[in-house]
Amino acid sequence: MEKKQFQAESRRLLDMMINSIYTHQEIFLRELISNASDAIDKLCFLSLTDDKVGMDRSDFFIRLTADKEKNTLTVSDNGIGMTAEEMENNLGVIAKSGTQAFKAGLDAAEKEKADIDIIGQFGVGFYSAFMVASRVTVISRAYGQEKASRWESEGADGYTIQECDRDGVGTDVILQLKPDTEDDCYSVYAASWKLQELVKKYSDYVRWPIRMDVETTEKVDTGEVDEAGIPKMTWKTVSKEEVVNSMVPIWQRSKKEATDADCIAFYKEKFRDSEDPVAVIRVNAEGAVSYRCLLFVPAQAPYDYYTRDYAPGLRLYSNGVMIMEKCPDLLPECFRFVRGIVDSPDLSLNISREMLQHDRQLKMIANNLEKKIKAELSRLMETDREKYEKFYAAFGVQLKYGIVGDYGMKRDLLTDLLLYWSADREKMISLKEYVSAMPESQKFIYYASAETVERAARLPQTEQVRAHGYDILCFASDADEFVAEILMQYDGKKFCNVVSQDLGLDTDEEKAEAEKAGEANRALLDYVKEQIGDAVESVKVSRKLKNYPVCLSSEGEITLEMERYFHSLPGTDPNAMRARRVLELNLDHPAVKALDAARSEDPERAAVMAKVLLSQAELVAGIPPKDPAAYSELVCSLF
Ligand code: ADP
Give me ligand 1 centre to Cα 73, in Å.
Answer: 18
478 occurs within a structural domain: yes
What distance in angstroms lies between residue 149's CA and the mean position of ligand 1's atoms? 15
Q: Would strands 279-285 and 291-297 be described as parallel, antiparallel, or unpaired?
A: antiparallel
Q: Is the CB of 79 under 6 A from ligand 1?
A: yes
Quote the CA–CA distance of 150 and 166 in Å, as a whole number. 10
Q: Which atom of ligand 1 is nearest to the CA of 127?
A: 6
Q: How far is the CA of 35 from the centre of ligand 1 (A)?
A: 5
Q: Which of 467, 502, 537 is the last residue of a domain?
A: 502
On whether both 511 and 486 belong to a single domain, the answer is no
Q: pLDDT tens digits for 367-426?
A: 999 999 999 999 999 999 999 999 999 999 999 999 988 888 999 999 999 999 999 999
Q: Are residues 629 and 541 in the same domain?
A: yes
Mean pLDDT of 188-198: 94
- 207, amino acid identity: R
Read off the CATH number of the domain in which 198 is found: 3.30.565.10
Q: Which burial class, exposed, middle or buried, applies to 510 when counting CB atoms under 10 A from its CB (0-12, 13-18, 19+)?
A: exposed
pLDDT tens digits for range 217-244:
888 888 888 888 888 888 888 889 999 9
Confidence label for 116 from pLDDT (cuts 50, 70 and 90): very low
Q: Are residues 482 and 517 in the same domain?
A: no
Residue 445 lies in a domain: yes
* Integer CA distances (angstroms), 556 to 11, 232, 445, 579, in order: 58, 102, 19, 8
Do 603 and 475 share a structural domain? no
Residue 412 lies in a domain: no
Instruction: Kindly report, residue by residue over 61-86, the tens digit of the pLDDT.
Output: 999 999 999 999 999 999 999 999 99
In a domain, 275, yes or no: yes
Same domain, 356 and 261: yes
Same-domain pairing of 456 and 581: no
The answer to whether the beta carbons of residues 338 and 301 sit under 8 Å apart is no
d(CA 515, CA 96): 65
Inside any domain, residue 222: no
| CA angle centred on 296, ends 295 and 302, rounded to 5° | 130
Phi-psi region of 54 (alpha: psi -120 to 50; beta: other; left: phi over 0): left
* Arithmetic mean of pLDDT, 312-319: 86
Whole-angstrom distance, CA of residue 37 vs CA of residue 209: 9
Q: Are residues 592 and 450 in the same domain?
A: no
Number of domains in the chain: 4
318 belongs to a structural domain: yes
Any ligand 1 atom below 6 A from CB of 35: yes
Ligand 1, atom 18: closest residue by C-alpha: 35
What number of other Cβ atoms are within 10 A of residue 75's Cβ? Answer: 25
Do residues 495 and 536 share a domain? no
Is residue 365, in this structure, part of any structural domain at all?
Answer: yes
Q: Which of 19, 13, 20, 14 is nearest to 103 (CA)?
A: 13
- CA 90 to ligand 1 centroid distance, Å: 6
Ligand 1 site, residue 121, Cβ cutoff 6 A: no
- Domain holding 90, by residue range, is 8-216
- pLDDT, residue 355, reads 58
Q: Whose CA is nearest to atom 9 of ligand 1?
A: 126
> What's residue 40's pLDDT?
95
Q: Which of 27, 126, 151, 172 to mutate to test the pocket of ligand 1 (most atoms within 8 A of CB)?
A: 126
pLDDT tens for each residue of 129-162: 888 999 999 999 999 999 999 999 998 778 999 9
Contact predicate 567/577, CB 8 Å: yes
10 lines ligand 1 (CB under 6 A): no
118 to 89, 110, 155, 195, 464: CA distances (angstroms): 20, 10, 18, 25, 51
Among 502, 535, 555, residue at a domain's last position: 502
Q: Check pLDDT > 80 for residue 436.
A: yes
Distances (CA, A) of 383 to 387, 421, 485: 9, 19, 30
pLDDT at 95: 37
> DSSP string covering 322-356, please?
EEEEEEGGGS-GGGTT-EEEEE-TTS-TT--HHHH
Residues 303 and 445 in one domain: no
Measuring from atom 14 of ligand 1, which residue has the nearest CA? 90
Whether residue 145 sits in one domain with residue 22: yes
pLDDT in tens, 272-310: 888 999 999 999 999 888 999 999 999 999 888 988 889
State the CATH number of the domain containing residue 466.
Answer: 3.40.50.11260
pTM to 2 decimals? 0.74
Domain boundary residue, one of 332, 359, 393:
393
Ligand 1 centroid to residue 39 C-alpha, Å: 8
Q: Quick check: 320 pLDDT over 90? A: no
Greater confidence, 498 or 2? 498
Query: Residue 308's domain is classified under what CATH number?
Result: 3.30.230.80
- Asked if the model's pLDDT at residue 353 lies above 80, the reply is no
At residue 384, φ and ψ (nearest 5 deg) are: -145, 80
Comparing C-alpha atoms, which of 410, 496, 415 is closest to residue 448? 496
Please report, for the domain that includes residue 619, its CATH number.
Answer: 1.20.120.790
Geometric angle at alpha carbon 65, from 116 and 141, rounded to 5°:
85
Q: Is the CB of 126 under 6 A from ligand 1?
A: yes
Type of residue at 402: G
Q: Is residue 135 part of a domain?
A: yes
- Indicate if 17 and 108 belong to the same structural domain: yes
The percent of residues in the chain predicted with pLDDT above 90, rounded, is: 55
Q: Is the CB of 475 under 6 A from ligand 1?
A: no
**Do 316 and 289 contact (CB within 8 A), yes or no?**
no
The length of the chain, given as a count of residues: 639
The verdict on 495 and 554 lying in the same domain is: no
Q: What is the DSSP letter of 588?
A: T
Q: Residue 99: what pLDDT?
A: 45
pLDDT band at 430 (very low <50, low <70, confident <90, very high): very high
What average pLDDT does range 318-342 have in this prediction? 87
**Mutation pick for ligand 1 pocket among 14, 60, 90 (CB with most ligand atoms within 8 Å):** 90
Selected residue with higher pLDDT from 208 and 31: 208
| Atom number, ligand 1, closest to the C-alpha of residue 81 | 25
